[in-house]
């Protein structure tokens, strides 16, 4: 199985998911300012989801760079990730149509968590395959150190993400204004949006402290 | 006609089919647990269809690896396969909206059968073309044996698939709870999902017994 | 401008057009045989449109093989073709929902004609560019003959197509059962579906008779 | 990050945006001439949007030719452009369904402006990266002149575009027949549709006058 076609298929599915979300915003009947303002929650929800799916697309792309040969396990891990990602439009729609009510917002956060978990699973599968196909050179200490470093950092980032999602979950379930849960999600996206700037350095620092 | 563009077009169509299926699940009006639970049959039907289309995409990809040059016959066999595959969203939708009633579930199984049949037809066309363009070396007995083996195994798998689909058809038509027909379909998908693990060995064993 | 991206964009648009047509068929509310039979006209209309768009995709692909460099004129001729092609889902939908009434069927035939005309225009633009970038060698008489032959044949095919579309137009406007117009369109598609088999030989024969 | 996949993803998203706009035109219930004529505003609005998105696709494609390596900033500038571009279907829909009323038409013009601004931002990011990665040779005066010329021309074109969009905005807000605002937009598109013919020469002339 060649990697190019798995990339192309994933890109196609993600491009469609990110674009059909806008179909969930229906044009209002009236033509007054109130009608336009009525669209704002839908647009806000769409914007958050767009950033989310865009971030996953970007990271997914980087991840697939590590792949040499596609195994059956990898293929199905990828499909599992795409499957839960495809619930973004529905979850966004429900949350926005019910005015960010508690249960729909909780479901939105849960979809985010499932996407994170399937993504992390995919990462694990790809990493394991990589360390089997090109094992670290035991003689090269520096390389081994770097690998360990990257893995530690990546693990920290994943824990932070899951932590933020749990915070989002609690907000959505407990607070009366559950739409604040989206703030936690957006912070989680930011961890992955600017991986090579401030956050990376922060994570490096934290990882050094921890290690 | 070059193979790359046929692959790209097929990938595009399959990516769209697999993604627009989720549009069939409409966000409920209410925001209560009952509304969420009301989505479960739709999500279950979507999951089965996602696995189905994903499996076909995976196998289709492997199949196209055998292609050297695309003939007109191959192109139209491929379009026939995509045509019937495009009924997945409609059939899934109808089945799920009518609560897995007998007739819609039967139609869903029939769509599955038509997809299998057009896929098998495409496989036959590609195989015939392959054996013409690179005929087996008569001097190499081992190669001839291997080819015959692969064909026998593939034939057995196809028969098992059609058999399971017939079982699904009977369940959908006869049993009061027609949604059990999906179990037969999922087993049929499993035959193709893990082709290189247990099932292949089982099929090898059966083929040896049979041969 | 490189050809690969124009191909990829066209493939994307055509793949989406061919797939969203199926969204025009809505799952019925009921679960009886009458509901299924009620879908048949929609499915028939979809099948005709699928064959039509599939045929155009196939021929478009062959046409783009002649392209060396993409000019601005070519790019916009291609977009004009894609624009009218994108009316297929709407025209199919209207025709099928009104039970193949006279006006909607006429519009469907008109969309077919516009697609043919923009396709022929694209072909002309590409051919003109080709004869400028690699003019026929005047010393090679055989090559010149062949080029003239292909052009004559192609012209004949185009005239036949437009003739069949005019017949379809008349049927849709005049006859009480306007859905028979689709027969003329399907015959026109057949001219392009099997270009290298019987029809080509017939066209060769006719062109020889004519020449 | 390699450029090919950013191109492919952008092409996918733009192809979907341009194609799902046609889903906004719903087939009428009746089958009379009045029903067809009732579609004309929707078709006109779709045509304008198709030309607009098509023009952006074409120019986006040219722009990406300048890219050597994709930076994080570039990637997110590109996603911002795609995000606002994805509002084209919704804005077109609302404008056409309300009969080109003042507010919806204004919003449509605003979406056009936002698309222009994010496109110009993307252009700036790409240009800055280019001048860093391959700085102009100070010894080659001619090259430096040409670069300055292209930038001046491009700046002029952008100012004209924004000017025309402001004119459109004023028309939509002030004049009773706000659909005339589309005329200003179409003129703005024309600046970018035929970049290498008359307009370019005019811009050259103006730039010479100005310089």
pLDDT band for position C94 (cuts 50, 70, 90): very high
Interface of A with D in 7-66 (CB under 8 A): 7-8, 11-12, 14-16, 18-20, 22-23, 25, 27-33, 35-36, 47, 50, 54, 57-58, 61-62
Nearest-Cα residue of chain A relative to residue B43: A87
With vertex at residue B86, the alpha carbon angle to CA C17 and CA B127, rounded to the nearest 5 degrees, is 110
What's the gap in Å between the CA of C196 and the closest CA on chain B? 8
**Distance (Å, rounded) from C-alpha B200 to C-alpha B60?**
18
DSSP letter at B1? -
- pLDDT tens track for A10-21: 988 999 999 889
Asked if D32 lies within 8 A of C90 by C-beta distance, the reply is: no
Higher pLDDT, A53 or B134: A53
Contact A11/D9, CB-based, under 8 Å?
A: yes
Partner residue opposite A11 with nearest CB, options D5, D24, D104? D5
Please tell me which of the candidates B18, B33, B35 has its beta carbon nearest to residue A13: B18
How large is the greatest C-alpha to C-alpha distance in chain C, in angstroms?
71
The answer, yes or no, to whether residue B143 has pLDDT greater than 80, is: no
What pLDDT does C11 receive?
Answer: 87
Tens-place pLDDT, residues A167-205 = 898 888 888 888 888 888 888 888 877 654 444 455 555
Per the structure block, which two tokens stand in for A189? 């996206």
SS3 category, B70 = coil
Task: Name the residue among C158, C14, C159 with its Cα closest to residue C79.
Answer: C14
How close A89 gets to chain B, by Cα (Å)? 8
pLDDT top residue among A24 and B194: A24
The answer to whether B103 contacts C19, with C-beta atoms less than 8 Å apart, is: no
C27–B97 C-beta distance less than 8 A = yes
Q: Quote the pLDDT of residue D143.
A: 67
Q: Cβ contact (<8 Å) for C47 and B83?
A: yes
Please name the residue of chain A whose CA is at the shortest distance from the CA of residue D80: A51
Q: Give SS3 for B86.
A: coil
How many helices (H) and strands (E) chain B has is answered by 8, 0
Higher pLDDT, residue D193 or A47: A47
CA-closest candidate to residue A102, choices A112, A114, A94: A94
Lowest mean pLDDT among A18-27, C11-20, C142-151: C142-151
More confident residue, A113 or D23: A113
Residues in chain B within 8 Å Cβ distance of C197: 72
Residue C199: per-residue pLDDT? 45
Other CB atoms within 10 Å distance of the CB of residue C149: 14
Q: What pLDDT is attached to residue C157?
A: 83
Closest approach of C196 to chain D, Cα-based (Å): 31
Mean pLDDT highest for which of C4-8, C98-102, D142-146?
A: C98-102
Q: How confident is the model at residue A2 (pLDDT cuts 50, 70, 90)?
A: low
Any chain D CB within 8 A of the CB of A67?
no
Chains touching D (at least 3 CB pairs under 8 A) are A, C
- Residues of chain C contacting D19 with CB distance shorter than 8 Å: 13, 16-17, 20, 86
Over residues C106-110, mean pLDDT: 94
pLDDT at residue A82, rounded to an integer:
95
pLDDT over 70 (residue C175): yes
Distance from CA of C74 to the nearest CA of D (A): 12
Say yes or no for a CB contact (<8 Å) between D107 and A36.
yes
User: Is C80 part of the contact surface with chain D (CB cutoff 8 Å)?
Assistant: no
Between CA C127 and CA C121 the distance in angstroms is 10
Q: Which chains touch B (3 or more CB pairs under 8 A)?
A: A, C
A78: its two tokens: 């990828």
How buried is A137 (Cβ within 10 angstroms: 0-12 exposed, 13-18 middle, 19+ buried)? exposed
Structural contact between residues C60 and C123, judged by C-beta atoms closer than 8 angstroms: no
Which of B182-186, C61-65, C130-134 is predicted least confidently?
Answer: C130-134
Please state the rounded mean pLDDT for residues C130-143: 71
- Higher model confidence: residue D150 or residue B160? B160
- Angle of helix B102-133 relative to helix B141-174, nearest 10 degrees, comes to 170
Q: Per the structure block, which two tokens stand in for D202?
A: 């005019």
Write out chain B residues lying below 8 Å of A5, CB-based: 7, 11, 61
Pull the structure tokens for residue B72.
Answer: 């007109």
Residue D199 has what pLDDT?
Answer: 45
The per-residue pLDDT for B2 is 67
- Tokens representing residue C186 in the block: 């399907």
CB contact under 8 A, D90 and A194: no
Chains that touch A (3 or more CB pairs under 8 A): B, D
Residues 6+ apart with CB under 8 A from A73: A125, A129
pLDDT in tens, A63-99: 887 787 788 788 889 999 999 999 999 999 999 999 9
Instruction: Tell me whether residue C132 is exposed, middle or buried, using C-beta atoms within 10 angstroms of its C-beta: 0 to 12, 13 to 18, 19 or more.
Output: exposed
Q: What percent of chain A has pLDDT over 90?
A: 37
Q: DSSP state, B30? A: S
Residues of chain D with pLDDT under 70: 1-2, 134, 136-138, 140, 143, 146, 194-211
Round the average pLDDT of chain C to a whole number and report it.
84
Contacts of A12 (CB under 8 A, 6+ apart): B11, B12, B15, B16, D12
Q: Taking CB atoms and an 8 Å cutoff, what residues of chain C touch D7?
A: 5
The residue of C3, C14, C15, C21 whose CB has the most chain B CBs within 10 angstroms, and thus the best one to mutate to test that interface, is C15
- By the 10 Å C-beta count (0-12 exposed, 13-18 middle, 19+ buried), C17 is classed as buried
Q: CB B36 to CB A107 under 8 A?
A: yes
Cβ–Cβ < 8 Å for D145, D161: no
For residue A100, the chain B residue with the least C-alpha distance is B31
Query: In this structure, how many other beta carbons lie within 10 angstroms of the beta carbon of residue C167?
Result: 17
The tally of domains found in chain A comes to 1
Core vs surface per residue A67-78: b (16+ CB within 10 A) or e: beebbebbbbbb
How would DSSP label each residue in chain A? Answer: --HHHHHHHHHHHHHHHHHHGGGGSPPPSS-SHHHHHHHHHHHHHHHHHHHHHHHHHHHHHHHHTT-SS--HHHHHHHHHHHHHHTTHHHHHHHHHHTTS-HHHHHHHHHHHHHHHHHHHHHHHHHHHHHHHHSPPPTT-HHHHHHHHHHHHHHHHHHHHHHHHHHHHHHHHHHSS-GGGHHHHHHHHHHHHHSTTSHHHHHHHHHHHHH-
Decide if D40 contacts C111 (C-beta within 8 A).
no
Asked if residues B54 and B11 have their Cβ atoms less than 8 Å apart, the reply is: no
Domain of residue C47 covers 3-210
Chains that touch C (3 or more CB pairs under 8 A): B, D
CA distance C206 to A44: 63
The band of B150, judged by pLDDT with boundaries at 50, 70 and 90, is confident
Res C104 pLDDT > 60: yes
The ipTM of this complex is 0.83
Are the beta carbons of B98 and C31 separated by less than 8 Å? yes
Cα–Cα distance for residue pair C66/C76, rounded to 1 Å: 17
Distances (CA, A) of C9 to B9, B65, D66: 11, 24, 19
Which chain D residues are closer than 8 Å to A31 by Cβ? Answer: 94, 98, 101-104
Task: Name the residue facing D19 among C17, C93, C104 (closest C-beta).
Answer: C17
> CB of C181 within 8 A of CB of C102?
no
* Alpha carbon D78 to chain centroid, angstroms: 13
pLDDT value at residue B210: 52
CB contacts, 8 Å: C104 with chain D:
31
Are A122 and A77 in contact by the 8 Å Cβ rule? The answer is yes
Please determine, for residue C134, whether its predicted confidence score (pLDDT) is greater than 80.
no
What pLDDT was estimated at residue B192?
Answer: 79
Tell me, yes or no, if B98 comes closer than 8 A to chain C by beta carbon.
Answer: yes
Chain D partners within 8 Å of C89 (Cβ): 22-23
Q: Cβ D47–C83 below 8 Å, yes or no? A: yes
């Amino acid at each position: 199985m060649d990697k190019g076609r798995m990339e192309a298929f994933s890109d196609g599915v993600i491009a469609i998911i990110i674009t059909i979300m806008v179909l969930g915003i229906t044009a209002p009947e009236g033509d007054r300012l109130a009608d336009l303002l009525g669209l704002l929650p839908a647009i806000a929800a769409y914007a958050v989801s767009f950033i989310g799916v865009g971030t996953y697309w970007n990271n997914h792309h980087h991840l697939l760079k590590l792949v040499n040969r596609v195994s059956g396990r990898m293929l199905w891990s990828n499909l599992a990730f795409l499957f839960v990602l495809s619930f973004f439009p529905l979850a966004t729609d429900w949350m926005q149509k019910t005015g960010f009510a508690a249960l729909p917002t909780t479901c939105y956060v849960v979809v985010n968590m499932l996407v994170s978990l399937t993504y992390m699973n995919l990462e694990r599968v790809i990493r394991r395959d990589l360390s089997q196909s090109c094992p670290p050179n035991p003689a090269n200490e520096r390389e081994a150190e770097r690998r360990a470093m990257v893995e530690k950092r990546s693990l920290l980032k994943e824990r932070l993400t899951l932590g933020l999602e749990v915070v989002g979950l609690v907000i959505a379930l407990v607070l009366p204004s559950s739409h604040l849960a989206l703030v936690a999600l957006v912070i989680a996206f930011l961890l992955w949006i600017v991986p090579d700037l401030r956050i990376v350095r922060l994570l490096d620092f934290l990882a050094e402290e921890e290690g």
